């Protein structure tokens, strides 16, 4: 509960927080570009995370730290294990081994909903809009700590009336920002693919997260929307949130990421600033290698 | 052909005791299936828990009537926990298979010869309903006439010229209790499904991973839905047992649950009044068809070599199956549903 | 120990009268499969040393009774030569050893040799009452004609290990029958994601079609069987062509399809009831076949033949899946339909094939089960749950898993009667299903699903 209050205050005073981008870039300026390198102020600190499906080792990350308040891109060829890694970190899948600390708390034993409550909220590669519910209901369901979500309290309208109204206000603000305000009474299933991505992101923000994990937020989004999505992600950083996102397009990564981590065949092969990564031979090999594999099939 | 008789029978059934049993069980199932998306194919088992809990409590354990009711409710909760704990974390169709299996386990155990000392075996049990009918406020000997209504030796007759409705004073008592229960549960569910609690359930129906990613304990919500729906199923079981003054294992066959699905889809899934409307329509159509066909055969309107009296039952249930298929294909939203909502369901 | 020689077959054709049970003795009622009393049959009772104590004839109501003076072991023999023509004691066991400590019912299940001119029995009569006085866990209840229509040779009156072997063999046979149905169900699930509740009615369909060809058209059973299997395949094909493929094209959700399959199951089941009635019917051959007695195992030749055919078919399907082009395509579709489509496989054609084969195999299972136990309109419905259990046990959607699961379920169902009352053997199997869910939900060969 104290978590969410903290996040709210951070949101309310974006101007008093030192400009997010500057702070993030400064914090990462002197970090050497090597896999598993320690950060100044990591919000997430993962060690020895491994997940195998039968014989296939999908994820085997020796060490990764994610800098608080920065935008970190996670890139890598298809099948590198990025989604699986997300699933593990957010409690949607269980690792064979590995432990990680999120914001000072051991998170590797938590269930997925506990992870979300702890402040790490994810979106999905294939959007999961709640199709037969309205856009507004999609947003409201995201709000944290609702009194009316208890069975007995739910029966008594006065108990949750005011909180519901406040959540509705907050949802309207977010919908306005994500240009979904006109759609608020439509079913989520009626939205376009790109709008669903926006809705999913807006919905995640209803939880006041401290870290947002976006799995390919830009996939299938038209170029115009893509630009506004990028702006939204940058805004998150200004609000003090940490962002970890998966993306293939190096131009996009260049534009918004402060830091890039590269996965290939389940392992973290390198890390660095976008410039360092573009110049890294291993990254190109990893992508090309994947292409070779794909061509052979 | 006696159309007056056919209509009277059909309408008598459409609001009568049996319809109320199905309506109640369907209200519970609607919370599970309609709102939460849980494929409970074992609602018959929950009804059996109620019916047998009451019967065993009163007859075998010699408990007072209300303790028997409590035993029935408790057994339904235990069954829900037993089924829910292993399956609610798994994919939807696992719950379907497990619940259907559980319903068969319950029925076969109830009719097992080895346990007939406790359950009455395939003959079932009786002798638990006296306390219920002792509370019956409708006199069994009254005789009066008032406008179109008349009472003759405890038998109420409402004459609407085109058809009439007739109920014994026992039926009237069961119906009074049944309709009060239906109203109570509709109010309860109405409050619940409009609350944030109900919103989480609907979210789970749409995509439980998404709801989980928003910090909701999906398992706990599903379990609550299973337990509450199961309790309402047990209440339906009480009414079933009391309305017939006996319990029999073979009333709790899997088809009982299947008909509840027909009722829910007929009325409209995730619609508050869907189960009640669906049950009324189901029993109207069922009695109308069986009585109509029987009358047709008896009056010679339907030649014997086309259709014999023993074939009426199978024919009607064949039509039930057919309408279930056609409904889902051509009007999946049911009577009360919103077409727009369902066309979104492309998964 | 008396349990080992319980010798009490609470089978078809016997109703123990619940009234006079205070006296010491043995009694029973002889009825044929149509519940008609069988009169004038000689029954002799001898003590353990073989000395005859009494010989009685069954009365007009089929009842007979012998009063005894002392508790102990007695041998009750039915003289088969006094049976009316066409009737014999099931499994050729006219002699039973009985432990008597009260007035015990002794049951001789009578079987019709030829079904010619036989009056149908009424549905619902077949749940035989077990008579009450025996507490032996090894007695067989109404084995010949339970409501499940599943019966694998009444195995009674055997010493421990022989009995176990017989149960094991009948379990393997039953497992093969389940497997025939399960492979189709599992492949349909694997390729389309549909949990098909109407699959049991494909089993019934096979049994009923063979009955039609055999009894109505007078064809030999083996010809009728081949035709029924072919029709079963055609039925599967037609279902996919006429219903499931259009629904898939329409984009109807899997849950809706699953409920549609329930409607379809009701529709087929009650159509069968409408046309064929609710009685259990038998083919006019192989009924009451004299079993082979190998000493350690008593088995009817028909069980051996149908078992071997089923096994060969299962192996052939497995080989086809592994080595033929279409088989590989099927596995590819089950693995990942989108990927299979993009590599040029005609997914819909593969699914059509799976439905056709599934329908044919289910029909074969139905015919074989009917050869053993007769046809009834709801036989498939009752078997379906065990088929589900088998498929879940093996791992949803894997054909090989389904086969292994089926054999395990079949053996489990039969062997469990060593320790639990036979009327509860399905309960045991279904309970195992739930326990598996608890411990290994992905089944023996299944995989966990992916998320995100
Ligand atoms: N549930 C699963 N079962 C088996 N293999 C899986 C499962 N989930 C992912 N994989 C495999 O793990 C590897 C990594 O997948 P994924 O994490 O989705 O990669 P990315 O998101 O980087 O494209 C792939 O080879 C994929 O096939
Ligand atoms: Mg991915």
Mean pLDDT taken over chain A: 85
> How many domains, chain C?
2
C29 three-state secondary structure: strand
A259-264 β-sheet, strand order:
A120-122, A211-215, A242-246, A71-75, A259-264, A267-272
Q: Are residues C256 and C405 in the same domain?
A: yes
Owning domain of residue C203: 163-439
Q: Which of C132, C243, C274, C447 to mutate to test the interface with B (most CBs of B within 10 A)?
A: C274
Same structural domain, C116 and C169: no
Question: The sheet that has C42-47: what strands, in order across it?
Answer: C52-57, C42-47, C72-78, C95-100
Tell me what pLDDT residue A174 has: 94
Q: Is there a domain that residue C156 lies in?
A: no
C447 within domain boundaries:
no
Q: Do C252 and C126 share a structural domain?
A: no
Shortest Cα distance, chain C CAs vs residue B43, angstroms: 15
Please state, as a whole number, how many other Cβ atoms lie within 10 Å of the Cβ of residue B99: 30
The domain locations on chain B are 3-135+166-342
**Residue C172 and residue C109 share a domain:** no
Calculate what percentage of chain B has a pLDDT beyond 90.
59
Residues A2-31, mean pLDDT to the nearest whole number: 60
Contact A215 C452 (CB under 8 A): yes
> Is A126 in CB contact (< 8 Å) with chain C?
yes
Q: What is the pLDDT of residue A294?
A: 44
Asked whether residue C448 is domain-assigned, the answer is no
Q: Are residues C111 and C231 in the same domain?
A: no
Tell me the C-alpha distance between B43 and B262, whole Å. 13
Average pLDDT of the residues in A105-126: 92
How many Å is the Cα radius of gyration of chain C?
24
Same domain as C267, residue C383: yes
Domains and CATH numbers, chain A: 14-127+240-296 (3.40.50.300)
Is residue A187 pLDDT above 50, yes or no? yes
Each residue of A56-106: pLDDT tens digit?
Answer: 899 999 999 999 989 999 998 888 899 999 999 999 999 999 999 999 899
What is the C-alpha separation between B229 and B52, in angstroms, rounded? 18
Nearest to C452 among A53, A54, A124 (CB): A124
Across B138-152, B153-167, B211-225, C98-112, which has the greatest mean pLDDT? B211-225
Of A49, A52, A56, best ligand 1 pocket probe by most atoms within 8 Å of the beta carbon: A56
Reading the block at residue C315, the tokens are: 């192996």
User: For the residues B22-33, what does the mean pLDDT come to?
Assistant: 96
Residue C329 alpha carbon to ligand 2 centre in Å: 26
Q: How many angstroms separate the CA atoms of B293 and B312, rounded?
A: 7
- Of the residues A55, A60, A84, which should be mutated to test ligand 1's pocket, given the most ligand atoms within 8 Å of the CB? A84
Tokens of B255: 């088809």
Q: Which atom of ligand 1 is nearest to the CA of A216?
A: 21
Rounded Cα distance between B48 and B42, Å, is 10
DSSP string covering A135-152: HHHHHHHH-SS-GGGSHH
- Judged on CB neighbours under 10 Å (0-12, 13-18, 19+), C312 is exposed
- What is the full per-residue pLDDT of chain C (452 aa) written as tens digits? 333 323 222 222 223 333 333 467 888 888 776 667 777 788 888 776 667 777 888 877 778 888 877 777 777 888 777 777 667 676 556 777 777 767 777 777 776 543 333 333 333 333 333 333 333 333 333 333 344 434 444 444 445 677 788 889 989 999 999 999 998 898 898 888 888 999 999 999 999 999 999 988 989 989 999 999 999 999 999 999 999 999 999 888 888 888 899 999 999 999 999 998 888 888 887 777 777 877 777 788 888 889 999 999 999 998 988 888 888 888 888 877 778 888 888 888 899 999 999 999 999 999 999 998 889 999 999 899 899 888 888 776 677 888 888 999 999 999 988 888 888 888 988 888 888 777 776 665 555 555 44
CA contacts within 13 A on the Cβ side of B172: 17
Residue A295 CB partners (closer than 8 Å, separation 6+): none
- Give me the mean pLDDT over the B61-80 stretch: 95
How far apart, in whole angstroms, are the C-alpha atoms of residue A142 and residue A140? Answer: 5
C-alpha angle with apex C406: C401 to C411, nearest 5 degrees?
A: 135
Spacing of C-alpha C205 from chain mean position:
15
Check residue C142 and report its DSSP letter.
S
pLDDT value for C10: 27
Closest ligand relative to A126 C-alpha:
2
Compute the distance from residue A297 Cα to the ligand 1 centre, in Å.
Answer: 17
Token pair recorded at residue A235: 């805004």
Report pLDDT digits (tens) over A137-169.
999 999 999 999 999 999 999 999 999 999 999
Is the minimum CB–CB distance between C451 and chain A shorter than 8 Å? Answer: yes
CATH number of the structural domain spanning residue C62: 2.60.40
Widest pairwise Cα distance in chain C: 82
Backbone angles phi, psi at A235, to 5 degrees: -60, -40
Residues 6+ apart with CB under 8 A from C318: C399, C400, C403
Domain contains C5? no
State whether C119 and C173 are in the same domain: no
C-alpha B328/C-alpha B332 separation (Å) is: 4
Size of interface A-B (CB pairs under 8 A): 112
- Report how far ligand 1's centroid is from the alpha carbon of A264 (Å): 12
Distance CA B258, CA B25 (A): 11
Same domain as C187, residue C89: no
**Same domain? C108 vs C239:** no
Q: Is residue C114 part of a domain?
A: yes
Distance of CA B198 to the CA centre of its chain: 22
Cα dihedral across residues C150, C154, C156, C158: positive or negative: negative
Q: Phi/psi at A67 (nearest 5 deg)?
A: -70, 130
At which of C89, C118, C133 does a domain end? C133
The 3-state DSSP class for residue A53 equals strand
CA of A59 to the centre of ligand 1 (A): 9
Judgement on whether residues C177 and C250 belong to the same structural domain of the protein? yes
Domain annotation covers residue C382: yes
Phi, psi at C377, each rounded to 5°: -65, -25
Q: Domain check: are C171 and C251 in the same one?
A: yes
Q: Which residues in chain C touch residue A215, judged by CB atoms under 8 angstroms apart?
A: 452
For residues C127 and C167, membership in a common domain is answered with no
Which has the higher per-residue pLDDT, C153 or B240?
Answer: B240
User: Closest residue (by CA) to atom 21 of ligand 1?
Assistant: A83
Please give the class, per CATH, of domain B3-135+166-342: mainly alpha
C429-432: list long-range contacts, CB under 8 Å, 24+ apart.
Answer: C429/C386, C429/C389, C430/B101, C430/B102, C430/B104, C430/B105, C430/C385, C430/C389, C431/B105, C432/C389, C432/C393
CATH number of residue C408's parent domain: 1.10.3470
């Amino acid at each position: 509960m104290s978590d969410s209050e903290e996040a709210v205050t951070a949101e309310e005073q974006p101007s008093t927080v030192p400009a997010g981008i500057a702070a993030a870039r400064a914090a990462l300026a002197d970090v050497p570009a090597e896999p598993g390198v320690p950060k100044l102020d990591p919000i997430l600190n993962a060690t020895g995370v491994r997940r195998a499906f039968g014989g296939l080792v999908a994820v085997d990350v020796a060490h990764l730290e994610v800098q608080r308040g920065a935008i970190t891109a996670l890139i890598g060829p298809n099948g590198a294990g990025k989604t699986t890694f997300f699933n593990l970190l957010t409690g949607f899948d269980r690792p064979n081994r590995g432990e990680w600390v999120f914001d000072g708390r051991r998170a590797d034993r938590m269930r997925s909903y506990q992870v979300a409550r702890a402040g790490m909220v994810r979106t999905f590669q294939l959007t999961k809009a709640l199709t037969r519910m309205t856009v507004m209901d999609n947003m409201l369901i995201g709000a944290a700590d609702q009194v009316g979500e208890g069975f007995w309290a739910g029966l008594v309208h006065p108990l949750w009336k005011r909180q519901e109204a406040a959540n509705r206000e907050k949802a309207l603000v977010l919908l306005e920002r994500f240009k979904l305000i006109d759609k608020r009474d439509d079913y989520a299933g009626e939205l376009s693919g790109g709008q669903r991505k926006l809705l999913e992101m807006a919905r995640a923000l209803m939880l006041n997260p401290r870290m947002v994990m976006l799995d390919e937020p830009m996939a299938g989004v038209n170029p115009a929307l893509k630009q506004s999505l990028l702006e939204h992600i940058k805004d998150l950083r200004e609000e003090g949130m940490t962002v970890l996102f998966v993306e293939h397009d190096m131009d996009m990564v260049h534009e918004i990421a402060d830091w890039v981590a590269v996965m290939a065949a389940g392992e973290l092969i390198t890390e660095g600033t976008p410039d360092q990564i573009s110049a890294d031979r291993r990254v190109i090999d990893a992508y090309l290698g994947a292409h070779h594999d794909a061509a052979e099939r | 052909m006696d159309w007056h008789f056919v209509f009277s029978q059909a309408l008598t059934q459409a609001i009568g005791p049996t319809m109320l049993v199905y309506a109640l069980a369907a209200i519970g199932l609607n919370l599970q299936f309609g709102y939460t998306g849980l494929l409970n194919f074992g609602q018959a088992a929950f009804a059996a828990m109620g019916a047998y809990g009451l019967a065993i409590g009163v007859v075998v354990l010699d408990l007072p009537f209300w303790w028997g009711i409590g035993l029935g409710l408790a057994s339904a909760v235990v069954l829900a926990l037993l089924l829910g704990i292993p399956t609610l974390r798994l994919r939807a169709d696992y719950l379907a298979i497990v619940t259907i299996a559980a319903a068969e386990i319950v029925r076969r155990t109830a009719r097992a010869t080895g346990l007939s000392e406790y359950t009455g075996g395939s003959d079932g049990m009786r002798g638990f309903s006296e306390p219920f009918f002792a509370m019956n406020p409708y006199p069994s000997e009254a005789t009066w006439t008032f406008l179109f209504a008349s009472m003759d030796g405890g038998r109420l007759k409402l004459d609407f010229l085109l058809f009439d409705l007739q109920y014994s004073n026992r039926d009237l008592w069961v119906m009074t209790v049944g309709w009060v229960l239906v109203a109570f549960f509709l109010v309860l569910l109405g409050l619940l499904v409009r609350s944030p609690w109900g919103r989480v359930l609907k979210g789970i129906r749409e995509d439980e991973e998404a709801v989980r990613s928003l910090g909701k304990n999906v398992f706990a919500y599903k379990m609550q839905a299973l337990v509450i729906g199961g309790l309402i199923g047990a209440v339906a079981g009480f009414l079933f047992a009391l309305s017939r003054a006996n319990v029999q294992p073979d009333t709790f066959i899997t088809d009982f649950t299947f008909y509840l699905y027909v009722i829910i889809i007929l009325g409209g899934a995730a619609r508050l009044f869907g189960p009640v409307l669906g049950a009324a329509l189901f029993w109207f159509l069922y009695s109308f068809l069986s009585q109509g066909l029987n009358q047709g055969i008896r009056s010679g309107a339907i030649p014997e070599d086309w259709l014999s009296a023993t074939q009426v039952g199978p024919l009607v249930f064949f039509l039930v199956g057919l309408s279930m298929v056609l409904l889902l294909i051509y009007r999946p939203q049911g009577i009360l549903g919103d077409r727009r909502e369902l066309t979104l369901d492309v998964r | 120990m008396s349990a080992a020689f319980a010798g009490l077959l609470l089978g078809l054709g016997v109703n123990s009268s619940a009234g006079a049970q205070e006296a010491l003795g043995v009694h029973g009622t002889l009825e044929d499969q149509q519940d008609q009393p069988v009169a004038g049959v000689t029954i002799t009772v001898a003590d353990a040393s073989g000395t005859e104590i009494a010989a009685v004839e069954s009365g007009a109501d089929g009842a007979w009774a012998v009063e005894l003076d002392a508790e102990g072991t007695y041998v009750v023999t039915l003289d088969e030569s006094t049976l009316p023509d066409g009737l014999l004691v099931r499994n050729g066991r006219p002699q039973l050893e009985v432990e008597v400590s009260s007035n015990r019912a002794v049951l001789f299940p009578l079987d019709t040799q030829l079904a010619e001119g036989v009056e149908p029995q009424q549905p619902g009569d077949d749940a035989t009452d077990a008579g009450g006085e025996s507490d032996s866990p090894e007695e067989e209840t109404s084995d010949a004609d339970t409501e499940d229509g599943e019966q694998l040779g009444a195995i009674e009156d055997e010493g421990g290990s022989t009995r176990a072997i017989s149960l094991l063999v009948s379990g393997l046979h039953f497992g093969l029958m389940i497997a025939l149905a399960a492979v189709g169900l599992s492949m349909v699930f694997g390729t389309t994601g549909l949990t098909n509740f109407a699959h049991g009615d494909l089993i019934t369909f096979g049994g009923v079609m063979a009955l039609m060809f055999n009894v109505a058209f007078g064809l030999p059973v083996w010809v009728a069987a081949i035709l029924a299997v072919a029709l079963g395949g055609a039925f599967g094909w037609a279902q996919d062509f006429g219903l499931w493929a259009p629904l898939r094209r329409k984009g109807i959700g899997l849950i809706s399809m699953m409920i549609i399959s329930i409607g379809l199951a009701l529709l087929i089941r009650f159509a069968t009831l409408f046309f064929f009635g609710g009685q259990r019917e038998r083919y006019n051959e192989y009924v009451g076949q004299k079993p082979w007695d190998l000493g350690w195992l008593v088995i009817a030749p028909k069980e051996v033949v149908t078992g071997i055919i089923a096994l060969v078919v299962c192996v052939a399907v497995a080989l086809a899946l592994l080595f033929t082009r279409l088989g590989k395509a099927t596995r590819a579709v089950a693995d990942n339909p989108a990927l299979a489509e993009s590599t040029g496989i005609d997914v819909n054609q593969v699914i059509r094939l799976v439905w056709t084969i599934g329908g044919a195999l289910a029909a074969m299972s139905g015919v074989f089960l009917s050869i053993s136990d007769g046809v009834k309109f709801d036989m498939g419905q009752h078997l379906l749950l065990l088929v589900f259990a088998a498929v879940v046990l093996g791992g949803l959607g894997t054909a090989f898993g389904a086969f292994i699961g089926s054999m395990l379920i079949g053996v489990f169902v039969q062997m469990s009667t060593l320790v639990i009352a036979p009327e509860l053997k399905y309960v045991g199997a279904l309970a195992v299903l739930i326990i598996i869910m608890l411990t290994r939900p992905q089944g023996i060969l299944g995989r966990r699903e992916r998320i995100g």
